Amino acid sequence: MPEAAETPAEIEARIARRREELRSTLEEIGARVHPSTLAEDAKARVAASIDQTAGRAFVAVNRAVTGVRAQLVSAEGAPRLDRVVPAAVLTVAVVGLLVLSTRTRRRRR
């Protein structure tokens, strides 16, 4: 609150300070709501979200690979043939069926 004994010069100085504070505040608000600032903020939020999602995906894939590796490789690092051979046979069978199916569809056309 202004003091009762303020001089006109003090009142003018206080008003000038308030105007400067208001001008500064309005400039800051203008910068915050400017379309380019809003777009940059949105891009930063999307990039952070993508980084977080990519990090989670990496962790999930890493866990899956580690789990599969534990199933196919012994603790010493040697392949577990009792599990590798059936997986390889199954993979070859699926690829063979896909190739056969593709060739059959191409002949029908």
pLDDT exceeds 70 at position 1: no
Gyration radius from the chain CA atoms: 35
Query: What secondary structure does DSSP assign to 72-101, as a single string?
Result: HB-TTS-B-HHHHHHHHHHHHHHHHHHHHH
Task: From residue 46, give the alpha-carbon distance in Å to each of 35, 99, 105.
Answer: 16, 41, 43
Q: What backbone phi and psi angles, to 5 degrees, belong to 34?
A: -65, 140
Of the pLDDT bands very low, low, confident and very high (cuts 50, 70, 90), residue 39 is: very high
The model's pLDDT over 41-87, given as tens digits with 9 standing for 90+, comes to 999 999 999 999 999 999 999 999 999 889 899 888 899 999 899 99
